[in-house]
Amino acid sequence: MIPQAVVAMLACARIGAVHSVVFGGFAASELYVDVATTIFSASLLPEVTLRAKRIEDCQPKVIVTASCGVEPSRIVSYKPLLNEALSKCKHKASTQIIYQRPEQTLVLDPEKGDRDWEEEVASAERMERTGECVDVAARDPLYLLYTSGSTGAPKGIVRENGGHAVAVNWSMPNIFGVAPGDVFFCSSDIGWVVGHSFIVYGPLLHGCTTVLYEGKPVGTPDAGAFWRIVEEYKVKVLSTAPTAIRAIKVCQFCRFQNHDSMPKAPEKRADPDGNYVKQYDISSLKHLFLAGERSDPDTVVHFSKLLNVPVRDNYWQTETGFPITAPCAFTHPSDSTPPKTGSAGPPIPGYDVRVLSSTLSEHTHDHAESTTNSKLKEAPPNVLGNLALKLPLPPGCFMDLWNGTDKFVKGYLSKSEGYLDLTDAGWIDSDGYVNVMGRTDDVINTAGHRLSTGAMEEIVSAHPMVAECAVVGAKDAMKGEVAVGFTVLKQSSTLSTPTHTPEKLIKELRSAVRTQIGAFACFNHVYVLEKLPKTRSGKVLRRVLRAIVNGEEVVVPPTIEDPGVVEEIEGVVRGKGLKGV
Ligand code: COA
Ligand code: AMP
């Protein structure tokens, strides 16, 4: 993440152009209309899945990218990814502006529309082209941000100028407790909504200083990175993801052990006892905000003691653009709402949060299947159900999908008339604090990244040996949730020959997800089964698989086709453990 990325966003806003930022960790095929099978041998192509992705969907005139991104273990070349996408896109952007990072400079091809960022800036300066501000209407779109839904096709969330500016500007003093001149450090990435709202627009609209951090909470170079930044820039508020902060306290952060560039001593990788905090003056820090996934109580308690500041869990989505719930800090400490461990706080003004429940789902914690029940009604306090917003929506919240008004109405507004479905399960306690338990659709949250298990299933099932598959989320001590795949092979496929071992298949499936979604999807666990658990009508019982991988009590529904399959799968999972870390 480099300042030029923010400059590009703000330049679009200035001239009334709509921007759509793509997270640097995505694979090339997240950009174009993707044939989900392309990475497997062409002679073995089974059914082909077409997915309209970002470039095809938003049809950009100009694409701006850096030559590369910098990750702890490698340099990620963006231009080849872009070239691959452009070569496969029907839509052609007229210009690609490339910022050449010193870590990797590339030969550009002006014939194909490539332009060098520095040369373009110099030329604009020579010609005294300032790019005057363009007035836009409040309801004109400021940006599109694509996010995962239940299928492989990401949804383009449309954010409008007026409501967004009001909402994020209001959030700064009231939710986060910062005033003009204060320093705000949001450690997310501008590829995600949190980064749009609170690395870029919120702090800058409110006259705060924002910190742009390219690095990880640990390993770049050590687990004191956040505290060093707090001291150096006198940060008043740190906003991060539970995963990021958990990484600092989790002792055996084994991922980095194999990277030669990483420090080898365990105490340099993580800081379970909080020793790094003591090396820095963090007295400027007044609040720690956590968002993106559920904050586990252990982490909240650990950091509120260690940093001696309130830890404020806040809940929101790409769709809403700013927090739906939060224990607000307010600029005057005496006004602040006390956080409650385990809860994401009460609703923010403008959001009327309700819990909708059906008689069928009321007594079960089965989120995914509960949403198919049609008769939902408002639940009393402390009853688990589907979280929903009673209409109307507040300013800043999305009001449409790009090229997808029908999908917007069907996907978000049709479940219960007069409500927007948040596709999260949760409950509201008697004090009005909201507790968010997890998604009700086929979406999981890995390290604060929203990922579609449906998209992973499309990729896995495209493998020529796979007859059917299911991907579910399993709890993970550091990343919150990770994807676990279950496959059943085609009858003609055998895994006993040297060319087709289970290990080889698993490796191919992992690599397929990595190549088609991105490394950050962390699709490392795959099992090969004889049979998936299904209802007699043929629906895969993903909740049974979720219960098994999470070591929870398995509630076997009476509609199951073959009850014996549950024991078999438990045996496979228990016998082999989670495969593949
Ligand atoms: N560009 C390219 N690749 C990226 C990337 C990016 N911006 N971000 C992650 N990746 C890649 C990594 O290089 C890694 O690839 P590898 O397997 O080849 O090494 C893979 O994705 C997994 O990376 P990551 O998710 O960062 O896991 P990690 O185990 O390396 O680090 C954490 C763990 C907890 C430190 C890290 O996940 C993190 O900082 N999470 C917080 C994220 C966050 O702020 N989310 C909030 C969004 S609102
Ligand atoms: P995204 O759109 O990527 O920001 O992801 C939104 C999803 O992240 C929500 O639907 C929730 O499932 C989850 N989420 C975000 N914040 C929280 C939180 N504070 N507690 C629990 N889940 C959260």
Q: Identify the residue whose C-alpha is closest to ligand 2 atom 19.
A: 315
Nearest CA to ligand 1 atom 13: 71
Helical ranges in 397-540 per DSSP H:
405-408, 453-461, 502-516
For ligand 1, whether the C-beta of 241 sits within 6 Å is yes
Q: Which of 553, 569, 562, 554 is nearest to 534 (CA)?
A: 562
Tokens of 191: 């590829």
Is residue 312 within 6 Å of ligand 2 at its C-beta?
no
Q: What six digits make up the tokens of 373?
A: 């029940």
- H or E segment at 435? strand 434-439
Beta-strand ranges (E) seen in 169-250 are 183-186, 209-211, 237-240
The span from the CA of 40 to the CA of 28, in Å, is 16
Output the furthest CA–CA distance in the chain (Å, rounded). 75
Does residue 247's CB lie within 6 angstroms of at least one atom of ligand 1?
Answer: yes
Ligand 1 contact, 480 CB (< 6 A): no
Ligand nearest to the CA of 451: 2
Tokens of 370: 């509960």
Asked if residue 311 has its Cβ within 6 Å of ligand 1, the reply is no
Which one of 3.40.50.12780, 3.40.50.300, 2.170.120.20, 3.40.50.1860 gives the CATH number of domain 155-436? 3.40.50.12780
**Which atom of ligand 2 lies at the shortest distance from residue 436's CA?**
21
Please give the DSSP secondary-structure letter assigned to residue 303.
Answer: H
344 CA: nearest ligand 2 atom: 19
Q: Which own/partner contact pairs does 116-124 have at CB distance under 8 Å and 24+ positions apart?
A: 117/4, 117/64
Q: Which ligand lies nearest to the CA atom of residue 313 in the structure?
A: 2
Please report the pLDDT score of residue 50 as a whole number: 40
Tell me the ligand closest to 511's alpha carbon. Answer: 1
pLDDT for res 374: 56
Ligand 1 geometric centre to CA of 519 (Å): 8
Q: What CA–CA distance (Å, rounded) separates 163 from 161?
A: 6
Question: Sign of torsion, CA 168 5 79 519?
Answer: negative
CATH 3.30.300.30 correct for 451-576:
yes
pLDDT of residue 262: 37
- Please give the chain's pLDDT, 581 residues, in tens: 899 999 999 999 999 999 999 998 888 878 876 544 333 333 333 333 344 588 888 899 999 999 999 998 899 999 888 888 888 888 888 899 999 999 999 999 999 999 999 999 999 999 999 889 999 999 999 999 999 877 778 899 999 999 999 999 999 999 999 999 999 999 999 999 999 999 999 999 999 999 999 999 999 999 999 999 999 999 999 999 999 999 998 754 444 333 333 344 444 468 888 999 999 999 999 999 999 999 999 999 999 999 999 999 999 999 999 999 999 999 998 999 999 999 999 999 999 999 999 754 433 444 444 444 457 899 999 999 999 999 999 999 999 999 999 999 999 999 999 999 999 999 999 999 999 998 888 899 999 899 999 889 989 989 989 999 999 999 998 899 999 999 998 876 766 666 677 788 899 999 999 999 999 999 999 999 999 999 888 889 999 999 999 999 998 888 898 999 999 999 988 876 554 33
Q: Is 99 in the pocket of ligand 2 (CB under 6 A)?
A: no
CA 557/CA 539 separation, integer angstroms: 12
* Closest residue by CA, ligand 2 atom 9: 317
Distance of CA 16 to the CA centre of its chain: 27
Counting runs of H as helices and runs of E as strands, what totals does the chain give? 18, 24
**Which residue spans of the chain are classified as CATH 3.40.50.12780?**
155-436
pLDDT for 122 equals 97
Ligand that comes closest to the CA of residue 240: 1
What's the rounded Cα separation, in Å, for the pair 248 and 226? Answer: 9
Element (H, E) at 527: strand 525-529
Q: Whose CA is nearest to atom 21 of ligand 2?
A: 294
- Two tokens at 354? 């309700």
> What radius of gyration, in Å, describes the C-alpha atoms of the chain?
24
Contact call for residues 467 and 460 (beta carbons, < 8 A): no
Closest CA to 48 of 62, 56, 38, 59: 38
Q: One-letter amino acid identity for 167?
A: A
Q: Which ligand is nearest to the CA of 23?
A: 1
Amino acid 576: pLDDT: 64
Candidate of 222, 520, 523, 524 to mutate for ligand 1, largest count of ligand atoms within 8 Å of Cβ: 520
Spatial separation of the C-alpha atoms in residues 268 and 80, rounded to whole Å: 34
Start-to-end Cα distance in the chain: 27
Q: For the chain, where do the domains classified as CATH 3.30.300.30 start and end?
A: 451-576
In the reported structure, the alpha carbon of residue 293 is separated from the centroid of ligand 2 by a whole-number distance in angstroms of 5
Check residue 430 and report its DSSP letter. T
Q: Answer yes or no: is the C-beta of 188 below 6 A from any ligand 1 atom.
A: yes
Decide: 317 in ligand 2 pocket, CB within 6 A.
yes
State the distance from the centre of ligand 1 to the C-alpha of 520, rounded, in angstroms. Answer: 5
pLDDT of residue 372: 45
Residue nearest to atom 15 of ligand 2 (CA): 292
Q: Which ligand is nearest to the CA of 255?
A: 1
Best residue for ligand 2 mutational test, from 450, 453, 479, 481 (most atoms within 8 Å of Cβ):
450
Residue 497: per-residue pLDDT: 64
Q: What is the pLDDT of residue 33?
A: 60
Residue 366 CB less than 6 A away from ligand 2? no
What pLDDT does residue 575 have? 76
In short, whether 367's Cβ falls inside 6 Å of ligand 2 is no
The residue whose CA has the least distance to atom 11 of ligand 2 is 293
Contacts of residue 178, defined as CB under 8 A and 6 or more positions apart, other chains included, come to 172, 184, 203, 206, 208, 236, 237, 331
138 is written with which tokens?
A: 């409040």
Q: Give the position, in ligand 2's atom list, of the atom nearest the Cα of 313.
A: 19
Q: How many CB atoms lie within 10 A of CB 86?
A: 19
Q: Which residue's CA is the nearest one to ligand 2's atom 4?
A: 317
Of 294, 289, 238, which Cα lies nearest the Cα of 434?
A: 294
- Token pair of 127 as six digits: 């010609």
Ligand 2 near 436 CB (within 6 A)? yes
**Cis omega before residue 498 (within 30°)?**
no
Contact 178, 237 (CB under 8 A): yes
